[in-house]
Structure 1
Amino acid sequence: MCFISFIILFMISMLCFYLSLNCLLFDSVTFIEWEVVNLNSSSIVMTFLWDWMSLLFMSFVLLISSLVIYYSREYMSSDFNINRFIMLVLMFVLSMMLLIISPNLISILLGWDGLGLVSYCLVIYFQNVKSFNAGMLTALSNRIGDVALLLAIAWMLNYGSWNYIFYLELMKMDYEMMIIGGLVILAAMTKSAQIPFSSWLPAAMAAPTPVSALVHSSTLVTAGVYLLIRFNMLIDGTWMATVLLLIGGLTMFMSGLGANFEFDLKKIIALSTLSQLGLMISILSMGFPKLAFFHLLTHALFKALLFMCAGAIIHNMNNSQDIRSMGNLATHMPLTVSCLNVANLALCGMPFLAGFYSKDMILELVLMSYTNYLIFFLFFFSTGLTVCYSFRLVFYSLTGHLNCSSMHYLSDEGWTMLRGMMGLMIMSIVGGSMLNWLIFPVPSAIVLPLFLKLLTLFVCIVGAVSGYTISNVSIYFNNKSLLLYNVSVFSGSMWFMPYISTYGIIVYPLKLGMASFSGMDQGWSEYAGGQMIYYLLSKYSNYYQIMQGNNLKFYLLTFTLWMVMFMVLSVT
């Protein structure tokens, strides 16, 4: 089933890519309306939007999905229920397809909820307590966005149709449309895990690694950014854009800082996803939706590759994810490590790899834009932190000394996994330049002073040197400073957001429920209700029993009086 799914998805991906090239070349958009049900004067119509953006995004999602399924053929080979796993992944991809091609809020909600429900099933796939907790956190965080979309659907009734694409430009300063824009931003923030909804993204690492590769590259977390790209007209130039810019910058900074204190291999890559999502949302809120979309596509390629390489390494390390137990893997797993290095360098923005074209353009446009010092600092410091944790990962896993058991069997995984990784490695090398030519056919010359032009390169070099050197030094010098320890705990725990999202939200309602239960259910309502009635009935029953017990004369007298009263009343 894996191989058949791979072939079908790959062929559809190539078809979508060809159609997107046609749309770009002829500047065409196809709008399809399918009448599902027609009953009397009512009709239910499904609408689909085929333009260059939706088709290009679909082709990338399907390409990555096909390679991930091919990779799962070996990665999940020991699973007895592998066909069930593949079916879940295909449902996940289908939900994403529905979301991408929908210009209608109702059908977007179908895809949006499909992603949420199937992601819950995939996160709890390895059935243990950690997976269940992570799945519940993921599902409940995303429910906030679902409710925001439902409210947006209710507000769209003001316009007589849910096809938002007809109204965006015409009604963008309308009060109702501003409310819809705010609700869409809230929905996108939950799905793309922006502050304060960030804690579910690293928790979702409980899912199998192929699922992580799919979720963190092109499907679940990118749905929010894609929705904002479609609704960018409502955000541009408003106060909501300023708030979104700040939130995106803080998310980028927080996740970059947290990744430098993390030792779980998958969590480091998850936090790097969070950082890149913050970057996309920040540049989108500055008024560059095409550039955000460009980075969305390039990021999808190298992030899927990073997770696939991480999965191969975890398999070899006897299911250990701690980077401190790795080291000198380049000697034992040269092909896997080569793929990991390419993905890592693309993430850092190494010239002429996929990430360079989008990240470099983003940072240069930030230098050209009217931004304050805070936003400038968040963009460039976060870029430095990205390179810092990437080279920290290089030090701990690829160079240094081998820290695992002496009785190990480290080698490159089977060819099925390697083929899947090498397919994405090629795309991580050539994908950026190819997309640059397609999305921006006219070359953009960004003219800046020499020190600003070289600032990006300088920040990357300083970040790389810092990451590698600090990792090297920290092995030999164990720091006992309480201040630095507190900083590392605060940063490494994502500014305590997982605690706030779980314990912080649960504890007060539970305490209130306990007070209500003991004070009302087991207190006054019980005393004045059930218990009081029971007490009074018991008391009067005992009284009547004493009166009537062993006293035949009294019993007959009361019976006679009752009969007389009954006859008098019946006559009247």
Structure 2
Amino acid sequence: MIWKISMHEISMVFLGLSAIYCGVSAILKLSSGLADVIEWEMMSLNSSYIVFTLVLDWVSLLFLCFVCLISSSVLYYSGSYMVGDKTLSRFMYIVLAFVLSMSMMVLSPNLISILLGWDGLGLVSYALVIYYQNEKSANAGMLTVLSNRVGDVAILLSIGLMSSLGGWNFLVYSHYMDDEWLSFKFLLVLAAMTKSAQIPFSAWLPAAMAAPTPVSALVHSSTLVTAGVYLMIRFSPALMSSSVQSMLLVISCMTMFMAGLGANYEYDLKKIIALSTLSQLGMMLSILALGYPDLAFFHLLSHALFKALLFMCAGVVIHSVSGYQDIRCMGSLVKFMPLSLSFMTIANLALCGFPFLAGFYSKDMILEVAFMSWINFIAFVLYVMATGLTVMYTIRLIFYSLSGGFNLESLNNVSDEDSIMTSSMVFLGLGAIFGGAALSWFMFPEPYMICMSGFMKSLVLLISFAGGGIGYIVTAVNAVYSLKSLNNYSFVVMAGSMWFMPFLSSFKNSEFSFVWGEALQKVGDKGWYEYFGGQGVYYLFSKMFMVSDSLQMNSVKVFMKMFVISVVIILFVHM
């Protein structure tokens, strides 16, 4: 008897067992308070040892557990979602390389060896974004990889600055970085901003939706976009600088507000969920800027569960409605896909922070700690508005796609019949329900002391209800009077296009390049750069070497010339 096991099943079993092993190891490491560090010395350079390091503590193992758990569900889900693809094996291998790169990045506490995972994520994400091989995918992939190269350059410059410490292990040296390391801290924040798509590098995140939906579920939950947040959590002891924290707080709060506002004007189902990811990344970095890395890590893990579930449910919907992604072409899907849309509703409610779901425990604690902290009024208002906007675009998404009128074509066969895609969402659905409570018991055995007034305590609930009510009223009015938005066309375009960042990121500056580039080439590349650059230095060194060579040959003519010149100079000085 021959057993025929497909690749998505093998990958699911292997990654599922890896998730169980990492989860049990994380529990043991946290209970014992110990960590294992493995180092391989590669070479020595100027008394600095370049080593390949792996750290196995409860933080890295717990995060790796979530990466493997979500990856196993996504790969099993891909076995049905990508079944018509002729290069399914290639897709599976690229996704496994993506998971391996993320694992290298999570386990490495060394700034040099972390480049294996950091650059691997950028390279493999480019391969996944251009997977469908059309012009839109090519443009999105180029925008993604060029935006992430800025962060890669920042990491390389950080390695050069950190070499003065004699090592690159940031778990050891980050505790000793004072205000003199301000430029190093800014470079790390820049690297995290590019990877986690903060302003002004936010344009690549919705553009990366050109990748297949299983890739989006993996990227937006526990891999690529969370790499910057994870790096900042690991470097959090070095971030205790007022200027760096203030800059990170302002940028992350603006990103959180911008993404929430843009999602309320977006009609692409995947881009709405992508903008919600961007909003939650801003929340993680904002609470990290306030000095609470444990809360940022808590929200990172709980967000990974329901965001992967949300993307997988969106993939089932897109798969069932013949590839449509416009939510206006859906409607009344809950009557035809009750199981998938039940999971989607659970994920949406967890995103809004509905009580006792996964997002509630982390999001509510983050908002309460932020309201209790010493933040300025602008940051407070942005927190409040971003929370309300999250509920608004969630209600809007539910109104257009799950409920409302039936807007599909008459011959569409919409159902929950695909058992592989629906069964792969069960574990993540349970995680979206019980994951937040389990993580809070696991990570915070001692409760936080939160002291605030009754109004401030109930403010999060009031914002959520107000956002939901306003979102329902505005969406219902807009569904009936769809042309009302043309009265404020400029604002709608600005808010719906992420404050024009996609246009600025891909700005066609051909005229500027041709006109000014020619002048710069004449003055620079063929002008002063030649005189003071490589050609000029070559000419100068050639003359110096000729003189040095003549002196070493002990030529009598040279010494006589030098003697005559010296005598003339002495006589001229004494005259």
Structure 2 counterpart of 1:108, from 104, 114, 125: 114
Say if 2:202 is the partner of 1:198.
yes
Contact 1:32 1:49 in 2 (8 A): yes
Per-residue displacement from partner, 1:297-333 (whole Å, max 9, x unpaired)? 0000000001000000001111000000100000000
Counterparts in 2 of 1:349 and 1:405: CA distance versus 1, 3 Å? same
Per-residue displacement from partner, 1:234-253 (whole Å, max 9, x unpaired)? 21242110010000000000
CA distance in 2, matches of 1:519, 1:406: 66
Task: Give the length in aligned residue pairs.
Answer: 520
CA distance in 1, matches of 2:485, 2:401: 27
Say if 2:61 is the partner of 1:55.
yes
Contact 2:50 2:167 in 1 (8 A): no
The aligned amino acid for 1:155 is L
Aligned to 1:66: 72
Structure 2 counterpart of 1:357, from 357, 361, 365: 361
The aligned amino acid for 2:10 is I
Aligned to 1:131: 137
* Alpha-carbon shift at residue 413 of structure 1 (Å): 4.4
Contact 1:49 1:103 in 2 (8 A): yes
Aligned to 1:495: 499
CA distance in 2, matches of 1:17, 1:140: 35
The aligned amino acid for 1:52 is W
Say if 2:207 is the partner of 1:233.
no
Structure 2 counterpart of 1:447, from 439, 448, 451: 451
- DSSP-derived class of the 2:113 partner: helix
- Structure number, greater radius of gyration: 1
The aligned amino acid for 1:8 is F
Per-residue displacement from partner, 1:274-305 (whole Å, max 9, x unpaired)? 00000000000000000000000000000000
CA distance in 1, matches of 2:12, 2:351: 26
Say if 2:464 is the partner of 1:467.
no
Aligned to 1:172: 177
CA distance in 2, matches of 1:100, 1:51: 11
The aligned amino acid for 1:417 is M
Contact 2:295 2:366 in 1 (8 A): yes
CA distance in 1, matches of 2:136, 2:365: 40
Structure 1 counterpart of 2:436, from 432, 442, 445: 432
CA distance in 2, matches of 1:160, 1:519: 42
- DSSP-derived class of the 1:409 partner: coil
Aligned to 2:540: none
CA distance in 1, matches of 2:288, 2:510: 34
Structure 2 counterpart of 1:29, from 11, 23, 35: 35
CA distance in 2, matches of 1:43, 1:189: 29
Say if 2:160 is the partner of 1:154.
yes
Contact 2:48 2:163 in 1 (8 A): no
The root-mean-square deviation of aligned C-alpha atoms, in Å, is 2.1
Contact 2:485 2:492 in 1 (8 A): no
CA distance in 1, matches of 2:482, 2:217: 34
Structure 1 counterpart of 2:102, from 96, 100, 105: 96
The aligned amino acid for 1:184 is L
- DSSP-derived class of the 2:322 partner: coil
Per-residue displacement from partner, 1:128-162 (whole Å, max 9, x unpaired)? 00000000000000000000000001111111111
- DSSP-derived class of the 1:403 partner: coil
Counterparts in 2 of 1:519 and 1:55: CA distance versus 1, 3 Å? closer
Contact 1:312 1:413 in 2 (8 A): no
- DSSP-derived class of the 2:112 partner: helix
Per-residue displacement from partner, 1:14-69 (whole Å, max 9, x unpaired)? 10000000111111111111245799x99753111111100000000010001000
CA distance in 2, matches of 1:494, 1:43: 45
The aligned amino acid for 1:403 is N
Structure 2: unaligned runs, 5 residues or longer: 1-6, 527-575
Q: How does 1:268-283 map to 2 (within 5 A)?
A: 268-283=272-287
CA distance in 2, matches of 1:45, 1:88: 27
CA distance in 1, matches of 2:43, 2:490: 61
Per-residue displacement from partner, 1:96-129 (whole Å, max 9, x unpaired)? 1111111100111111000000000000000100
Structure 2 counterpart of 1:77, from 83, 89, 99: 83
Per-residue displacement from partner, 1:393-450 (whole Å, max 9, x unpaired)? 0000011111011222111141100011122101110100000001101122423211
CA distance in 1, matches of 2:362, 2:525: 60
Structure 1 counterpart of 2:422, from 414, 418, 422: 418
* Alpha-carbon shift at residue 480 of structure 1 (Å): 4.5
Counterparts in 2 of 1:401 and 1:152: CA distance versus 1, 3 Å? same
Contact 1:244 1:281 in 2 (8 A): yes
Counterparts in 2 of 1:514 and 1:400: CA distance versus 1, 3 Å? farther
CA distance in 2, matches of 1:463, 1:392: 11
Aligned to 2:290: 286
Counterparts in 2 of 1:340 and 1:505: CA distance versus 1, 3 Å? farther
Aligned to 1:405: 409
Aligned to 2:124: 118
Aligned to 1:477: 481
- DSSP-derived class of the 2:355 partner: coil
CA distance in 1, matches of 2:50, 2:255: 40
Say if 2:348 is the partner of 1:344.
yes
- DSSP-derived class of the 1:105 partner: coil
CA distance in 2, matches of 1:481, 1:18: 53
Structure 1: unaligned runs, 5 residues or longer: 523-572
* Alpha-carbon shift at residue 509 of structure 1 (Å): 3.2
Identity, % of aligned positions: 55
* Alpha-carbon shift at residue 370 of structure 1 (Å): 1.1
Give TM-score, length-normalised by structure 2.
Answer: 0.87
Contact 1:181 1:231 in 2 (8 A): no
Structure 2 counterpart of 1:378, from 362, 375, 382: 382
